[in-house]
A = this chain, B = another copy of it.
Amino acid sequence: MNIGIIGSGNVGGTLGRRWAGNGHRVVFASRDPGSEKTKKLVSEAGANARAGKPSDAAASSEVILIATPWDAAEPAVRAAGSLSGKVVIDATNPLLPGLAGLAVGCSDSAAERIAKAAAGARVVKAFNTVGANIMSNPVFGGGKVAMFYCGDDAEAKMTVGGLIAELGFEPLDAGPLQQARVLEPFAMLWISLAMRYGYGREIGFELLRR
């Protein structure tokens, strides 16, 4: 699969490296594809990765991951050009400064705003509920970390469910895109436990069933 990564911080970098390692062709989007940071990322990700302008990353990929800070997400989506028909994975969280909470939610979500900004795109919310360290390895002894995803396009969700499963998560369909209104606060729970309330970043949730 051709995967474009918009936002190559911890989350975008980790997922891009792992997907490239799994054999997907990954384009790391950068306004300056020749920058040292981008070159380093591409070299770490190996032969399946390259750098490109955001519009190039978007045009050449069936699947585009948005993993920028929230305040950069809507401008980045617009800078990418038309995403109509693309599978867009929204991994952002609309965090307030100092991780004080969420700037969007309950009656709205970052994902719904992304979907509005990316007219025609098949947006799936995913990869927002744990830190990049868990994305590196979501297996804890006998337990598998749950990765929820939600969206309004069944085929796009199947694609994203596969990308989740291949990284070792348990992919869990949480319903339509509007469910981002609960998945974004769920991310805030992980973030606040990990960063503020003493649990540290090596935590994750497993869904138990009986």
- The answer to whether A181 touches B143 (Cβ under 8 A) is no
Query: Which segment of A46-54, A58-66, A117-125, A201-209 sits at the interface?
Result: A201-209
Copies of this chain per assembly: 2
Query: Which segment of A13-21, A25-33, A77-85, A171-179 sits at the interface?
Result: A171-179
A184: chain B residues at CB < 8 Å are: 185
User: 8 Å CB contacts to B: which residues of A186-210?
Assistant: 186, 188-189, 192-193, 196-197, 199, 202-210
- The answer to whether B204 touches A208 (Cβ under 8 A) is yes
Query: A145: CB under 8 A from chain B?
Result: yes
A67: chain B residues at CB < 8 Å are: none
Chain B residue nearest to A143 (CB atoms) is B208
A102: chain B residues at CB < 8 Å are: 106, 181
A183: chain B residues at CB < 8 Å are: 189
Q: Which of B146, B181, B196, B204 contacts A101 (CB 8 A)?
A: B181
Smallest CB-CB A-B distances: 7 pairs: A185-B185, A140-B208, A105-B106, A182-B189, A175-B197, A205-B205, A143-B208
Known pairs A175-B197, A179-B197, A182-B186 / 8 extra A-B pairs, C-beta < 8 Å: A102-B181, A106-B106, A143-B143, A174-B189, A183-B189, A185-B185, A186-B189, A205-B208
A residues touching B (Cβ–Cβ < 8 Å)? 101-102, 104-107, 140-143, 145-146, 148, 172-175, 178-179, 181-186, 188-189, 192-193, 196-197, 199, 202-210
